[in-house]
A = this chain, B = another copy of it.
Amino acid sequence: MLLQQAPDYPIETFVLEAIADAPAAHLCHQFVKGDINDYETVLQFGRSVDVLTIEIEHVNVEALFQLEKEGIRIFPKPAVLQTIKDKGLQKQFYEKHNIPSPAFVLTESERDVLNHLNFLPAAHKLRTGGYDGKGVQLILNESAASLAFSEPGVLEKLVVIEKEIAVIVARNETGETAIYPPTEMVFDPDLNLVDYLLSPAELNDKQTSQAQQLALQVCNAFNSPGIFAVEMFLDDEGKLWVNETAPRAHNSGHHSIEGNYCSQYDMQLRVLQNLPLGNTNSIQPSLMLNVLGEPGHSGKVKYVGLDAIMDLSNVYIHLYGKTTTKPGRKMGHVTILGSSTRELMTKAEVVRNSLKVESE
């Protein structure tokens, strides 16, 4: 999606990706097939460009530190990536900067979990390598604690979640910041993936303002140009807790392509060029649905029901160009604009019932 918007600006795009037929491969000026976790590969690639950004945190940070020394502009800064890639360091970072985040303890093994039964019920997260709900255990009681993974982790006291929200903040090299309206994420408990997302979130003015201030505080603490999606919990007492931050364009900002005057991708391109930031205001309330592979379907992808959803007014599909599907795989998203939550929900129901990702 970044590459779809990039041609608007006077820039050339270079992409490093492990898969030769990656969806990005045909949308850039130069595609380099290579492993983003390999030091030499990232180093050589980085030396060929003026400014680097990422779409996933799991990249070789040592190479980025070296490139930064050599004068390559990197957003977010490698130090931010290093902190965020490790949920332990990330939690310590919030603690150090007085950013409210659920109480935690670092664990090395299941024994450490058993030593902190006072933290239960808790979430136990792998310090590194987790993604989209993978690498997270819910540990509600002592008997579950004995099943905890034994890799380094973070044991986090559960917050009673009223709402799960995200606020995207952009910052350029000049230090200018732009804050999007909060978005509300509703999760599918089975897949532990965002089921749908409402933007703006249904919060009162004070909550909205507090969420935006908190996101800005996180962004300023990281002290780096970039796009930051700050994920938060609103608890049953109205208090906000930072869950985690993604230092990049994020699923919780996909609706901004049609729903806001400046999309998160346009914003990211402005950051990369150190241009003034855009207008984050909503055009209309929006609802975003992930398009996931149907259960029972694996292989070459086929989309069913596109006609029915395009027949709805102000419904937009964004497929990610993946050639094969499997159950639950994120294959794209649909953004819906509407004047009320009720209208959004009605259209979402049609989308959910009509659009199916099957295999041929």
Contacts and interface: CB of A to CB of B under 8 A. Distances in A.
Interface of A: 4-5, 7-10, 13, 23, 26-29, 258, 261, 266, 270, 273, 275-276, 278-279, 283, 301, 303, 306-307, 310-311, 313-314, 316-319, 321, 332, 337
Most central of A28, A266, A310, A317 by chain B CB within 10 Å? A310
5 contacts: A7-B27, A8-B318, A26-B29, A273-B306, A276-B307
Contacts of A275: 306-307, 310
B313 A279 contact: yes
A266 B313 CA distance: 13
Contact of A261 (B5, B332, B337): B337
Binding site secondary structure of chain A: mixed
Q: How many copies does the complex hold?
A: 2
Nearest to A333: B8
Contacts of A26: 13, 26-29
Given A276-B307, A313-B279, A23 B4 contact: no
A251 B266 CA distance: 22
Given A4-B8, A276-B311, 5 more contacts: A7-B321, A10-B306, A261-B337, A273-B306, A275-B310
Contacts of A319: 7-10
Contacts of A310: 270, 275-276, 278
A157 to B, nearest CB: 41
A279 B8 contact: no
A6 to B, nearest CB: 9
